Amino acid sequence: MKFYNTLTRRLEEFRPIEKGKVGLYTCGPTVYDYPHIGNYRSYVFEDLVKRFLLFAGLRVHHVMNITDIDDKTIRKAGELGVPLAEVTQKYIDAFHADLRTLNILPADVYPRATAHIPEMVSLISSLLDKGFAYEKDGSVYFSIERFPGYGRLANIERGNLKPAAAATHDADEYEKEAVQDFVLWKGKKPGEPYWPAAFGEGRPGWHIECSAMSMKYLGPHFDIHMGGVDNIFPHHENEIAQSECANGMTFVNYWLHCQHLIVDNKKMSKSLGNFHTLADLLQRGCDPMAVRYLLISAHYRKLLNFTFDSLEMAGQALARIKNFDFSLKSIHNPGEADPETAGLIAAAEKAFAGHLADDLNISGALGALFDFITKTNQRMTNLKQKDAVQVLAFLHRLNSVLGVLDAAEEKPLDAVIEEKIGEREAARKAKNFKKADAIRAELKARGIVLMDTPDGVKWKKE
């Protein structure tokens, strides 16, 4: 499989450091507010990559950080007049609830910055000892001129960099034009949380947090680091600098970044009234799986324009998959499977996987799925139950990557319900309509609606 590596600005064949295993780090939320759907575009993209790696038979060790100490979280706690931990826990809980709602696979580890201060202090001490960092006015800064590779990820010309120590930057986030030495440790300030360190009491800068936590759980050199394009500079650029200077080796082999989400062709903004959280969409009655479908439906390196019309179209595409799933589960025709079924499945899986292996070509992959659905629907009246079982297994295999069918839709009917449907069919054939009606009513009470059609009994869940 090939991915576009932001660091080299070219497509590269993915080769894991350790055969069969992938070390994956994704930048998680800064927990000072509810994430918006633009944030979830990144998280769903990262989930798609992870699911495809698993689909390809690789074992993935996934680490996603929780930034619970930075400028924004401290400011929010101050505005509300409550302890920092109380603010961050509220938004951590909301974040995990949203992940479940969008069917995003959980990471193996969710390290919180505040639980890893000793690792950050140790890393900063190493940078000071090696001469890559210096103390100034009670804080510690990284000297970008000491690292010749600075600017590679963001494609910044070395000539545009400011001389070391001539200018320093304490803010966690800033623009490329403000390139200068960045803060590793912020000296103690009144009203802010602080921790002890040999170089003075204070708190970590944002960038050092991810380096320390990724190293702890994935080692000093790992496979893939992902995030949104807004993370490229300064955050990921600074991660590379401090990590490679501390360890003397390549930090990450592949950097993957997802483009922005815009709304109605405009940047999302509360002042424009086009700012949406997942909760906002759910309150409007939007299907979370349609939201997920829309978020993965465009190539990750292209801008995604969110509109309610596009969300409706995503819902229609999802409905086509669900109806296909429903039709297959309704087939109970006896007999041997048609050999053509296995051939269509093999061809569709090859096309689906081939497109995704080409830098996550999701449009091609979805096209392969819908082409398969069309061809199978054309054969639906002649399909036997054994065919349907094969096709359902294949559909759910593809859904292990897409994640757009919820757990209830993936599960087969409970064995007891299958038995009841069989009993009803037997009662109808024996003209015992009273019993057949009683079974129909019993199933309806359990949320299963039966429909008698010329092709046999069909069912659906209410």
Residue 36's pLDDT is 93
Q: Identify whether the C-beta of residue 386 lies closer than 8 Å to the C-beta of residue 337.
A: yes
Query: CATH assignment of 2-258?
Result: 3.40.50.620
Common-topology check for domains 2-258 and 278-412: no
Residue 405's pLDDT is 93
State whether residue 117 is helix, strand or coil: helix
- Structure confidence by residue, pLDDT tens digits, 190-249: 989 999 999 999 999 999 999 999 999 999 999 999 999 999 999 999 999 999 999 999
Q: Is the peptide bond before 234 cis (omega within 30 degrees of 0)?
A: yes
Residue 46: closest CA among 27, 29, 66, 65? 27
Residue 416's pLDDT is 62
Q: Are strands 448-453 and 456-461 parallel, antiparallel or unpaired?
A: antiparallel
Residue 163's pLDDT is 53
Question: Which residues 6+ apart lie within 8 Å of 390 measured at CB?
Answer: 337, 341, 342, 345
Residue 184: closest CA among 257, 254, 130? 130
Residue 455's pLDDT is 62
Domain extent listing, the chain: 2-258, 278-412
State whether residue 327 is helix, strand or coil: helix
Residue 415's pLDDT is 58
Considering the segment(s) 278-412 as one domain, its CATH architecture is Orthogonal Bundle (1.10)
Residue 88's pLDDT is 96
Residue 454's pLDDT is 67
- Structure confidence by residue, pLDDT tens digits, 81-96: 999 999 999 999 999 9
Tell me the CA distances in angstroms from 16 to 5, 12, 222, 253, 439, one per residue in order: 14, 12, 9, 9, 55
Residue found under tokens 């990724």:
214
State whether residue 265 is helix, strand or coil: coil
Tell me the CA distances in angstroms from 374 to 16, 351, 367, 380, one per residue in order: 37, 15, 11, 10
Residues of the chain short of pLDDT 50, as ranges, are 164-165
